[in-house]
Amino acid sequence: MKQRVNPYLPSWEYIPDGEPYVFGDRVYVYGSHDRFNGYVFCLNDYVCWSAPVNDLSDWRYEGVIYRKTDDPLNRDSRMCLYAPDVTVGPDGRYYLYYVLDKVSVVSVAVSDTPAGKYEFYGYVHYPDGTRLGEREGDQPQFDPGVLTEGERTYLYTGFCGRGDKTRKGAMVTVLGPDMLTVIEEPVIVAPSEPYSAGTGFEGHEFFEASSIRKRGDTYYFIYSSVAMHELCYATSKDPKKGFEYGGVIVSNCDLHIDSYKPADKPMYPPGNNHGSIVEINGDWYIFYHRHTNGTWFSRQGCLERIKFNDDGSIPQVEVTSCGSIEEPLVGRGEYPTYLACNLIYMDEKKRGFPKITQDGKDGDEEVGYVADVSDSATVGFKYFDCRGVRRVKIETRGYLRGHFEVKTSWDGEVLGTIPVEFSNIWTEYAADVAIPDGIQAIYFTFRGHGDGHFGSFTLE
């Protein structure tokens, strides 16, 4: 049975920095493109995926929409395509904004259709032709986020490391109807860390990942804070000023969440974050990314359903395997372990986390699994609608000798154990384990010797 899961794309696809948009009856996701086992960020060309608005389990690969060598500054492919954004211009065409990784100018490509192919269009520039980011006094351009209203396009950019006084915060620049020419010069809309005192942004200052959305008469500026793992938001009635800090929408390691663990306990390998909110078929979602393969360079897109309070604020949501506790996965059948939303070691003396990885090379359609499974490794999945589950099977391989505890919370009662042995191939083990009926999380904790892989589990 096909269901919406996290990550929402196939386990062998690595699309971070997701910017989701609904065009017609489909939702399109634009992002940068990491490489499995990559050595730096964003090594691959831009691709696009889309899904029907009424079925977020049915994602379609739209192909390569723009190559890194399509930019005249990068014919030799020495630079990477960093996080992009897309907006519809006053002429009805689709404009792709991006920054290459070693220059400080904003490039633009254009297409007649949402999924491209996009063609290079030009560079954002001042009326005298000087490119934005290259005039004396300009702050560096990075991670463009765009919103077009009428003949004006609001371009949000910036990158501000903690302690860097040369960068004052996220900027917005207004472009004219040609989508390239600056008609209002950059102004700061969210402060960097050195300039945040008294602003309300303290502790969650702007770092990178500008994104902008509008809901009703309110503009939501979504960004990654100096904490990096969290996507925060600020709101204003004016796209150019008056933004007030709102809170954290999601953390890719679930920091601040205290509903099922201590608020300061990370439950997944933390790392940078980038994404945005979108309304799809009447519901709102936050798109974000997680880290895999034990590095920061193989990131995957995830989504969670969000809600707005009456005052427009957004409560922080848990990271899940399903995208919403209100839409749990079927509590029956086999599930691959790359759907894990929690990866920790119970032994606090151990450093690091278990990791999600895959076999093969980048582009190989290999199903992901959990590696670095050793004593106290705990792998968690949320949530399942369990009814009459009485037996649990798992698949493991590698040098594992011991047993897996099965629980419905990371530190909860052990409902049963599944013994495992050394095996060079994926091998199935099973035990009678009664899972209480209802909406449940499922956790597996390995106790024993060795180090190996955890491939799948089956609820029966």
Q: For residues 270 and 198, what is the distance between their CA atoms, to the nearest angstrom?
A: 28
The alpha carbon dihedral of 162, 222, 58, 267 has a sign of positive
Q: For residues 48 and 18, what is the distance between their CA atoms, to the nearest angstrom?
A: 10
* Residue 337, φ and ψ in degrees, nearest 5: -80, -10
The one-letter amino acid code at 327 reads E
Q: For residues 281 and 27, what is the distance between their CA atoms, to the nearest angstrom?
A: 10
Both tokens of 400, joined, read 């594992």
Instruction: Give the bridge partners for 330, in sequence order.
Output: 385
What are the Cα distances from residue 17, in Å, to 33, 37, 222, 346, 347?
9, 18, 12, 30, 32
394 near 377, Cβ under 8 Å?
no
Residue 367 is classified by DSSP as: P
Placement of tokens 């903690």 in the chain: 162
Nearest to 380 by CA among 320, 432, 316: 320
Q: For residues 407 and 444, what is the distance between their CA atoms, to the nearest angstrom?
A: 6
Q: For residues 323 and 421, what is the distance between their CA atoms, to the nearest angstrom?
A: 34
* Residue 275, φ and ψ in degrees, nearest 5: 170, -160
Strands 369-373 and 438-459: antiparallel
Interior angle at CA 33, CA 159 and CA 281, nearest 5: 90
Instruction: Give the bridge partners for 64, in sequence order.
Output: 47
Q: For residues 159 and 161, what is the distance between their CA atoms, to the nearest angstrom?
A: 7
Q: For residues 431 and 429, what is the distance between their CA atoms, to the nearest angstrom?
A: 7
Active site residues: 17, 208
Both tokens of 231, joined, read 């996507």
